A and B are shown apart, each in its own frame.
Chain A
Amino acid sequence: MTTRIGVVTFPGTLDDRDSLRAVRLAGAEPVSLWHRDKDLHQVDAVVLAGGFSYGDYLRAGAISRFSPVMETIIEQAKAGMPVLGICNGFQVLTEAHLLPGAMLRNNHLHFICRDQKLRVENADTAWTGDYTAGQEISVPLKNMDGRYVADERTLDELEAEGRVAFRYLDVNPNGSLRDIAGITNAAGNVVGLMPHPEHAVEPLIGTGRTDGLPFFTSVLKKLVSA
């Protein structure tokens, strides 16, 4: 059986096509999921792609969090299904309380678009197994609301449990506390990050490198071996 990985399209999602392509290049079967459909169509994992779902009205990710598809995704994520939230998807995951903390407007108030260096801090999640801890990668980053915040206690807890999955290197592009670029839940199946690995899966686009592809091969291996 082919492994099926779903990518959700909300109104305002921009990076669903790139995410579907990344899934295909990794060797899994990409499945488009629609935000108003509660049914996940037998997918084994879900990617919440980047963009501006529901126009980011109210707060980034706040309205999407209550869409019908999210009801099922929240339930399945809690049951262990791998879920990756990229950029707006990360915002949706924090609003859904599947990941702690919140995302705020960048500290410099500008939209930012750059190639971003990251350090992989945790290579034991469902989405990072094909990296090694401490590995440095470069993937595109583009966001307006990318400043990760949480209270001190939560931040200490994340650090202590190794749940800071990615950290910004060289430059902190948005004022995220403790240079956090991505985090995981305690079980390691839910991962969220602001930069865009799905834009770095083919040498011809993005950074000209394929540093993002291991996200998608990691989850595929994890599911095949499960």
Chain B
Amino acid sequence: MARVVVDVMLKPEILDPQGQAVQRALPRLGFDGIADVRQGKRFELEVEGPVDQAALDRIHKMAETFLANTVIEDFTVKVEA
């Protein structure tokens, strides 16, 4: 089975308070030099059968309608070897 990864991130213009909270905690923990943190979601899909164009099109559709809310989020689809 092949693995397809869908990464979902808040659009750059959308405030990400969770990422900010993480970023603010870093210096307290001794991790310096991180100017910004944004937090996203990663979906790992184990796909039955070949990951051909048709399968990728279906996954793209799935990401667009369900995994991501395109009003606030961007997503990428990539096949992992």
Q: Are A95 and B69 in contact (CB under 8 A)?
A: yes
**Which of A22-30, A37-45, A105-113 interfaces with chain B?**
A105-113
Q: Are B67 and A149 in contact (CB under 8 A)?
A: no
Interface membership of A78, Cβ < 8 A = no
How many chain B residues touch A (CB < 8 A): the figure is 11
Taking chain A's interface residues, is the majority helix, strand, or loop, or is none over half, making it mixed? loop
B residues 30-68 touching A (CB-CB < 8 Å): 66-67
Find A107's partner among B15, B66, B71, B72 (CB 8 Å cutoff): B15
Chain A, residue nearest B11 (CB): A151
CA A59 – CA B15 in complex, angstroms?
16
A residues 83-131 touching B (CB-CB < 8 Å): 94-95, 100-102, 104-109
Find B66's partner among A62, A94, A101 (CB 8 Å cutoff): A62
Interface membership of A162, Cβ < 8 A = no
Interface membership of B27, Cβ < 8 A = no
A residues 140-166 touching B (CB-CB < 8 Å): 147, 149-151
20 contacts between A and B (CB under 8 A): A58-B66, A58-B67, A62-B69, A66-B66, A95-B69, A100-B71, A101-B71, A102-B69, A102-B71, A104-B14, A104-B15, A105-B17, A105-B18, A107-B15, A108-B17, A147-B15, A149-B14, A149-B15, A149-B72, A175-B15
Which residues of B approach A to under 8 Å, CB–CB? Answer: 13-15, 17-18, 21, 66-67, 69, 71-72
